[in-house]
Structure 1
């Protein structure tokens, strides 16, 4: 009987595991909230910049800061942050490298409605998909 419950518990735990589809990273993401390592939270009700993320089939990608305008197009400085994706145990990490710095972020949550990452300093960034302002 104990063996039965152990198997049942193991099955439930594995069936409820959170799977991440890396392709959900693709698109425009707007910062929603930042949580510092000490628990202090900063909500962003509006941001004039969004992150554009594009992932390639080889698990590399780029992130660019974009400024949407009212015509539906975007302005950018053309500065890209290159990254590659790697699984580290149960964690999926983004490793960034620019001419000025390198850092990593661990994906805590990723789906079509939310992206949540934590950096090496314990700062959690929560994003939502960017929805353009529609002025008709």
Structure 2
């Protein structure tokens, strides 16, 4: 019985300590995000060791876009003209990313957003964990990439 009480107390403590996302945090989405892992609905995890694509967000206020980009060895990124319009919506105690293209619309829950971590949950209960990343420059002899 004591163990059950400890577990319940720990769970309540963890939920209450969760950082609340506020409108000022939306600017933290700006930049390049690399997926680390996906928690699947069945409880399994899919880990990503190396990624060919990053997600790039550019937000102004609560609106902006997300596109896939490919990092290059010289620190640049290749991107095509495909992008998703993104709007951030605050509803009750939750935050949502409402995305759309010319062909589809969908909503994802923004679970965590810090300077270095992004967690998004989709409608299939898949939870995507991202880390903030920067350009990789393996050809510039240590020069800073712009």
What TM-score, normalized by structure 2, do the two folds share? 0.78
CA displacement, residues 38-65 of structure 1 (integer Å, 9 cap, x when unaligned)? 11100001101101001112x1110010
Matched, 1:26 2:26: no
How big is the shift at 1:132?
3.0
How big is the shift at 1:134?
3.6
How big is the shift at 1:19?
2.7
* d(CA) in 2 for partners of 1:47, 1:97: 24
Q: Hey, which bits of structure 1, 4+ residues long, moved more than 4 A?
A: none
- 1:54 counterpart residue number: 58
Matched, 1:89 2:123: no
What TM-score, normalized by structure 1, do the two folds share? 0.83
Count of equivalent residues: 123
Unmatched tracts of structure 2, length 5 or more: 1-12, 142-146
1:43-82 alignment, distance < 5 Å = 43-57=47-61, 59-82=62-85
Determine if contact 2:74/2:136 at 8 Å carries over to the other structure: no
Determine if contact 2:86/2:98 at 8 Å carries over to the other structure: yes
Query: What's the RMSD between the two structures over aligned residues?
Result: 1.8
More strand by share: 1
CA displacement, residues 72-110 of structure 1 (integer Å, 9 cap, x when unaligned)? 111111111001111111001000111121111111111
How big is the shift at 1:16?
4.4
Question: Any idea what SS the aligned residue of 1:79 has?
Answer: coil
* d(CA) in 2 for partners of 1:73, 1:134: 8
* d(CA) in 2 for partners of 1:124, 1:17: 16
